Chain A
Amino acid sequence: MAKKILIVDDDKRIVLLLASRLKANNYEIAVAYDALQAVAQAFSEKPDLILLDMKMPAGSGVSVMDDLRNSTNTALIPVIVITAYPSIEIQQKVKEMGAVGFISKPFKAEDLLPRIRKVLGE
């Protein structure tokens, strides 16, 4: 069965492109465009992995991670952070919160895909 990945980014073009790339690599896709949708989608879709942007409306990547960690339904979903603001502080912060990966924009598919496979144990 195909693994499901939740893409969270307020930039619809990036969501579209990531979805296209991941579908081409045989993943199932769920999407969210802000922090609240992200948490809702994580609950309802139960994805195997979340690709999470940091800066977005109705919260932030950090608040999403907080919400996910506080619920047993979503606490164990691995998160890879994809951000245009890759500061050391944010990197440390999300690492402490349990993010399994940290990728800065602009990302390259040849870096992103192996990371995803590794996290999903493929």
Chain B
Amino acid sequence: MSSMTDALIVVNPDATLRSVNRAALDMLDYKEEELIGQPVETIILQEEGQRLTCFQNIFVTGVTFNMGLTFLTKQRKRIPVNISGAAIQQEGKIIGIVGVARDMRQIRTSISEWEEKKTEIEERGKKSVRMQRAMLHIMGDLDISNKEIGKANKELQKLDQLKSDFVSTVSHELRSPLTVTREAISQVLDGVCGEINEEQKQFLFMSIEGIDRLARLIENLLDISKIESHKIDLKRELVDIVSLAKEVSSSFAFAFQSKGLVAKYNFPKDKIELYVDKDRIIQIFVNLMSNAVKFTPAGYIEISIVDKENVVECFVSDTGIGISDEDLLKVFDKFEQFGREFECAEKGTGLGLAISKGNIELHRGLIWAESKLGQGTKISFTLPKYSPRELFKEYVTNGLAKAIKAGAPLSIIVFEVKYYDTLREKSGQDKIASIVHSLGQLIKTDLRRKSDISIKDSRAILVVLPETDKKCAWATADRLKSSFDDYLSKEGLVKDVEVDSRIASFPEDAQTEEELLNGVQLQENIEK
């Protein structure tokens, strides 16, 4: 009771004070002993005696009350309070009244404070209304600026498009006069128009070289403009990167040899099939190797392929003149050429590494350079490895995109070896793989159009048939299944191996790539 913050008084039936708490004593400025036993009028204003009667009446009625009173302090100071109380009963008899008084000054102050606050808030409200209006104006302005930015952006895109179109048109238009010039000089050089002397030959040869360099520059410009305007369509297929790198390396063998450079190859034994645009990857290797040859006066050139978990990492490194730290930062920028002071027979276009970077990024790979001036350069790049499952999806996605664009139907068939797990335990994984491989070959020989493709993993084969509706797809599937049966019976496998086939067609039973894949139950069945 003493810890309460509100004043508490207990009144005896004879209207004397029985007890008061600390908050009451503090409020009234009395000591406890000065109040106990005193009549309640000591602390309650006389004028309100009338109400005190009511106060006393509680002893008769026992009801709770709640009323405004005025407390008197020892110094006769008046304190407005609001008092709530209840009769204390014992065995049915009222033995006292307990009252809790709240100092109304605080509340009044609070009220006046509240009123002040209210005014302030209203002021603020008015201000905020003004601000809101201002904001609306600003928003309006912003909207206009936004539209202007959007417009400017569109203009920029248009300009960018114009630039790309310009580069493309100019590059193409340059080809015809270049053809005429090259062929005319070449015929004179070849003696088609009569004998020429050695000096004439030499000069004409120089001009042919210049034309060829110009032609390369045009090709590269076209490439970079296509990469920058995202107009490149990758012709992706499964390519063994190891044999591709070997092929390119062997085409450089003569160049290495004639400069007295030693070639070091670090290739994995097994093939690594990647889903890439073969020509683009060849272009990257050619680029890196010709740079290496160009900038390496002596020593060796190393070409390496490392099979990592999710990517294949390749690098071409040399013991050449190297690139300074400052230049290394700009090595993939357009038209940056380094080591110019170094004598080289063939000048570059300054676009090779920029194109390589664009090509690698189109394949969702990474490319980076390390170099020390005077010690050599190493350019590395990665290419992602796709799981068969991701590949299947990629083929379906591409096929569907083409079908939608051409407004033509598309069907996909999945052939899957049934009871794969049991079969694997019984015959071994290699056996199944070889069966699936043979079935894949059968499909490849059977498919009649170039646009039809098939791709397999260890247990299933996906066949994508553009411009084919469901009915024709079933016919194809039946034809293929009967050729499977012939093969399986010839091999004596008919009892063991059963091949399941499922078909989904766009637009007949699937609209999206997901629906197509679900239609052939590819989601659950094809292992990663």
Give me the interface of A with B, judged by CB distance under 8 Å: 11, 13-14, 17-18, 20-21, 24, 84-85, 88-89, 96, 104-109
Contacts and interface: CB of A to CB of B under 8 A. Distances in A.
Nearest to A110: B186
B183 A109 contact: yes
Interface string B176-218: 1011111110110010110000000000000000010001000
B233 A84 contact: no
Given A17-B180, A20-B192, 17 more contacts: A11-B176, A13-B180, A14-B183, A18-B183, A84-B175, A84-B176, A84-B179, A85-B172, A88-B233, A88-B235, A89-B233, A105-B178, A105-B179, A106-B178, A106-B182, A108-B186, A109-B187
Contacts of A17: 180, 183-184, 187
Nearest to A12: B180
Nearest to A106: B179
What's the dominant secondary structure at chain B's contact region?
A: helix
A11 B180 contact: yes
| Residue with the highest number of chain B CB atoms closer than 10 Å, among A21, A89, A106, A107 | A106
Size range of the chain B interface in the assembly = 20 to 34
Contacts of B230: none
B235 A14 contact: no
B450 interface: yes
B192 A84 contact: no
A105 B176 contact: yes
B503 to A, nearest CB: 25
B187 A14 contact: no
Interface of B: 172-173, 175-176, 178-184, 186-187, 190, 192-193, 211, 215, 233, 235, 450
B187 A21 contact: yes
Given A17-B187, A85-B172, A96-B450, A107 B179 contact: yes
14 contacts: A14-B176, A14-B180, A17-B180, A17-B183, A20-B193, A21-B192, A24-B187, A24-B192, A88-B235, A105-B178, A106-B179, A108-B182, A109-B183, A109-B190
| Residue with the highest number of chain B CB atoms closer than 10 Å, among A20, A21, A89, A105 | A105
Contact of A106 (B175, B187, B235): B175
A106 B215 contact: yes
A84 B180 CA distance: 12
| Residue with the highest number of chain A CB atoms closer than 10 Å, among B175, B183, B186 | B183
A27 to B, nearest CB: 13
A34 B286 CA distance: 38
